[in-house]
Every structure is written in structure tokens, then in C-alpha cells.
Amino acid sequence: MNFSVEYLIRFQHCDPAGIVFYPRYYEMLNQVVEDWFAEGLDWSWADMARQRSEGVPLVTARCDFLESSQIGDRVTFTLDLTHIGRKSFSLTITGTCGDSTRLRAEMVLVYVHTTDKMRAIPLPGELRARMQPYLKQ
Amino acid sequence: MNFSVEYLIRFQHCDPAGIVFYPRYYEMLNQVVEDWFAEGLDWSWADMARQRSEGVPLVTARCDFLESSQIGDRVTFTLDLTHIGRKSFSLTITGTCGDSTRLRAEMVLVYVHTTDKMRAIPLPGELRARMQPYLKQ
Amino acid sequence: MNFSVEYLIRFQHCDPAGIVFYPRYYEMLNQVVEDWFAEGLDWSWADMARQRSEGVPLVTARCDFLESSQIGDRVTFTLDLTHIGRKSFSLTITGTCGDSTRLRAEMVLVYVHTTDKMRAIPLPGELRARMQPYLKQ
Amino acid sequence: MNFSVEYLIRFQHCDPAGIVFYPRYYEMLNQVVEDWFAEGLDWSWADMARQRSEGVPLVTARCDFLESSQIGDRVTFTLDLTHIGRKSFSLTITGTCGDSTRLRAEMVLVYVHTTDKMRAIPLPGELRARMQPYLKQ
């Protein structure tokens, strides 16, 4: 299983050269993970933040920007879960528009308690179980 | 030679967990390069964009987020130029606050003509010459 | 006729106090107008920007923030067109979540040619005609 | 007394038309107030947020965008305090670049306790005293 979502490239994402300003791509990558948690894992960030005081900050990201995107493009982001660790997990997210691959990101996120100095804690068992089907063989 | 600049972590950079939201870090990384061009290389992005129709989009970035930053922190970003290619260049940017290293990024940027489909072009000789002293041995 | 669209309040919209950071609301207001142009008027900003070199910058905005929004809220934005001038038009946008009105904005936007120093120009007749049904009596 | 601060218009503030995207102006307006609190009132938002669980969300803003700003412009923002209420205060912020007035904003902010449902509370006496000299006659 993987998870896909399509975002419209909007005016607000684009820079004076008319292409997506790359920090906006990172906002989209964050949004893909947020949507996967809500829709794919039924583990909303609203509940995670407000009821559990937990979160999943980014530890490492490597991103290759292969072709540029412009206002009006519809970019499909596909998320693959590549590793589930004890306190962290790894993802690959690819953004495509038609035949064109726009970007490819590899990210490691860690599960933390937000009110205890962002200390890493083990992934809750229930969350881990819901992630399992997405783990790429 | 290297280039350093200090930014204040502001309210607007922080997320509900009270730490810098990572897309804001990428805005800061972009800003470090912009400041280096303006102050270190005397090659302002205003002139580059408006008079030359040129720009330096990001091709690849790898970033490790080592410790979190909070509102009120003053983070010093230090830029090292690690490679000058024919049409691209590579940077390492490290963000520190006191003894704490907050992030380390490796980035490759390419020199392009913005009105010709973002086509990569050779770095102008004058710009290359100004970059030279920053090249890390 | 009016135009409505629902946006999810996301992690990236919220500040350290856990509520929407108001510049993010202005991004949403901009997005409502962009969606209205695309879906309500069939006048996409992609074509307007790239093929016509035209745009609709904001001239005046008054916004009242009545109740705060949090991550996970779904806010419905309703747009009413209150005036069509020769070169500008006026909107009211209201954001609600259930019974709670979150914000109410009155905005004036002007139609401009972007490559000629943002000079205001008359609204194209075709666009004016498509706006007409949305004009509030 | 009033408070002034100059910001450089950066690449990241500008839209595909090459001018400041207005939500970025609202980020700057927020930053002006943040800088005034830190430098003019010695009441940092870091302490206010983290030690006091207090904040100053925006209640109402009216902003007129008079002339556009481009990358490389240096805009001076001047803040005048026009009213101090029991739980709120009113500001006018004007942004100028040379002889050109870029924007003028009137804002009302309220003092709140952030962990108690953003409930408005009286301005602390010490803060009120520090604001007093800035009150426009």
C-alpha cells in the first residue's frame, strides 16, 4: 500500500520566476504526511497535538528537485513508507505531474512528546500497526 | 573565507509545538544564500532577477535537523562553498545557537536563465571570480 | 449567487498558541478568490498570469477576526461580490465553522496589467459578464 | 514617541508578478509589532509566550496597499500607538520607501491568556506603563 494525494500549484506557491518557491514544496511535503496520518492511518495531527501532546518532527530530509512546477499544475504526491524504527520512521515522497517527475524526497521523522523537550518516544503500538500495511517490501 | 549571518527566531517561524516549523528553516536557508549573494558577492538577487532574468534555483538539498529552535533564539548560519561547477555550485550551511548545532544543510544550486524555461547556463565569469575566495580548500 | 469553499485548518497554519496565525488567514482569503476565479468564473489565475500578464492585486482589506480557529477545524469561506467597478471589484468573505463565525473580510481588488508597472486597466468585458450573477443585490 | 524598523523586501516575499504578495506584508506587520514589543517595550514575545502564556492576537485590521514593493526595496515601517484600552490597544503602521508610501494599516490587538481559551485579560500595568510614551496625542 502507498498513499497519494494531488495538490494544485497555486499563485501563493510561486516565486518571481513563476515556479514553485522550494520552501512551499516543503510545506506540501509536510501536508502529505499530515494527510497520510489523517486519511491513511486515522491518526489526526489535531488529536496527536492537542490530546496526546505528541508530534512527528523532521530529523533528516533529502530532496531532489528534478523539474519545476508552475501555477495551475496539479502535482500528485505519492508516499512510500520505507522503514519503521522503534522511535522513528522513513518515507519516500515523489511528486509527479503527468509524465514529469517534479521532486523526490527521502525523509526521516521521529515520534516525540512535545511537552517534554521534544524527547523521542517509542511509536505507539496502535500507530505502528496501522503503518505496517504501508511498509514497502 | 566563509559567510555568516544571524537570524532571530520569531513567533511566525514557530509551530504549535513551539519550535521552528521546518519549512521556515528552508526559507532561512534561502535567505542565507540571498544575503551571501548581496553582501558577500555583491550580486544582488534584485538585479539578477530584474535586469538579467537569471536565478539560482535549488537542485538538491540534504538537511539534518539536530536540535530544535524556539522563539527568541538567535541562530548563526555559516555558509561554506564546497564546489563550483560549470553551471552549478554546492554549499554547506550550518545553523548554531551557542554550543548547540541546530541544523546542517548541503545544497546544490544551479544557475539558470529564468525566461528560457529555467535552462541552466554557465556561471558568469565575474560571479565565479567573486565566489572563488569562498571555496573551501 | 455566491461562492463557498471549505478549507481544513492544518498544522502549518497554526502558531505557538495553537491557533491560526493571521497571515495564514490572508493566504486563505487569497486562495478563496483564486478558487472563485477558477471554479466560479472559469478565469484561471494560471492563464491570467501567464497568457494575459494580468492580475488582481489587493488594494484594501478590512478583516475582523471574531473567534479563533485551531488545527483540525474545517472552515467554510463564503464569498459575496458587493460591487463591480470599472477597474476594480469588492468582495465580502466570511469564514464559519459550525455556528461560529471566525472572520469577516471586506476586500477591494483591482485589475492590472502586470508587465506595465501594475497599471490598472478596465475589467475585461467577458470577465465582468461572468461576475455579474455573483453581484449581491 | 513612535517606533520604526526597516525591512528588506526579499525574493521570498514576492509573487509571480514580481511584487510583494500581500500575506507577506501581514507577516511584516506582525514582525513590526513583535520588534516594538522587544525593542521598544522590553516585553519580548518569547517571554510573553513561554513564561506568561500570554499573547496579543489581532482582532481587526484595515490595510490600504497604496503602491507596490519589489525585491530589493527597503521599506521603513513606522508604528504609532493610537489607543490603549483596558484589554486591547490600537496601532497605525505605515510602510514607506523613499517618498513612496507603500501601505498603511490600522490594527487592534487584544491581550489574552493563551491557555485559557484565548480569554482577553487586562493589559498588565507594567506593560501599559511602557506603552504610554508611545501613545499619540
pLDDT of residue A115: 84
C116 pLDDT above the threshold of 80: no
Show residues of chain B in contact with D72, CB under 8 Å.
44-47, 50
Beta-carbon pairs below 8 A across chains B and D: 47
pLDDT of residue B116: 77
pLDDT of residue A44: 97
D35 pLDDT above the threshold of 80: yes
- Non-local (6+) Cβ contacts of B128 within 8 A are B84
pLDDT mean over C91-104: 98
Specify the residue for cell string 496579543. Answer: D56
**3-class SS letters over chain A:** CCEEEEEECCHHHECCCCEECHHHHHHHHHHHHHHHHHHHCCCCHHHHHHCCCEECCEEEEEEEECCCCECCCEEEEEEEEEEECCCEEEEEEEEEECCEEEEEEEEEEECEECCCCCEECCCCHHHHHHHHHHECC
Which residue out of B19, B26, B113 would a mutagenesis test of the A interface target, given it has the greatest number of A Cβ atoms within 10 Å? B26
C115 pLDDT above the threshold of 90: no
C104 pLDDT above the threshold of 80: yes
Instruction: In chain C, count H helices and then E strands.
Output: 3, 8
Nearest-Cα residue of chain B relative to residue D17? B50
Burial of residue A69 (CB within 10 Å: 0-12, 13-18, 19+) is: buried
CB-nearest partner of A30 from B17, B23, B64: B23
SS3 C105: strand
Show residues of chain B in contact with A17, CB under 8 Å.
49, 55, 57, 114, 118
The region, left, alpha or beta by phi > 0 then psi within -120 to 50, assigned to residue B40 is alpha
C12 pLDDT above the threshold of 80: yes
CATH classification of the domain holding C25: 3.10.129.10
Specify the residue for cell string 521546518. Answer: B22
pLDDT of residue C44: 97
Give the global pTM. Answer: 0.97
pLDDT mean over D41-61: 95
What's at A31, amino acid-wise? Q
Split into its structural domains, chain C has a count of 1
pLDDT mean over D67-84: 97
Report ipTM (2 d.p.).
Answer: 0.96
Binary contact (A57, B65; C-beta < 8 A)? yes
SS3 C135: strand
pLDDT mean over D103-112: 98
Looking at the DSSP bridge assignments, the partners of residue B90 are B83, B108
Which residue out of A7, A8, A10, A11 would a mutagenesis test of the C interface target, given it has the greatest number of C Cβ atoms within 10 Å? A11
Instruction: Walk along chain B (137 residues) in steps of 10 and give the mean pLDDT of each run.
Output: 96 94 98 98 95 95 97 97 98 98 98 90 98 93
- Tell me the C-alpha distance between D57 and D54, whole Å: 10
pLDDT of residue C125: 97
D117 pLDDT above the threshold of 90: no
Provide the pairing of β-strand B119-120 with B88-97: unpaired
- Non-local (6+) Cβ contacts of B31 within 8 A are B7, D10, D12
- The answer to whether the Cα torsion of A90, A126, A27, B114 is positive or negative is positive
Q: Which helix (H) or strand (E) holds C107?
A: strand C100-110
Instruction: Walk along chain A (137 residues) in steps of 10 and give the mean pLDDT of each run.
Output: 96 94 98 98 95 95 97 97 98 98 98 90 98 93
pLDDT mean over C20-29: 98
Burial of residue C115 (CB within 10 Å: 0-12, 13-18, 19+) is: exposed
Tell me how close the Cα of D82 comes to any Cα of chain B, in angstroms.
24
Show residues of chain B in contact with C71, CB under 8 Å.
16
Radius of gyration of chain D, Cα coordinates, nearest whole angstrom: 15
Chains that touch D (3 or more CB pairs under 8 A): A, B, C
pLDDT of residue D115: 83
Whole-angstrom CA distances from C108 to B1, C26, C85, C89, D67 are 50, 14, 10, 6, 14
pLDDT of residue B47: 94
pLDDT of residue D116: 77
pLDDT of residue A20: 97
Q: Give me the domain span that covers residue A107.
A: 3-134
pLDDT of residue D137: 78
Closest CA to B20 of B79, B78, B56, B66: B66
The D-side interface with A (CB below 8 A) comprises 11-12, 14-18, 21, 23, 71
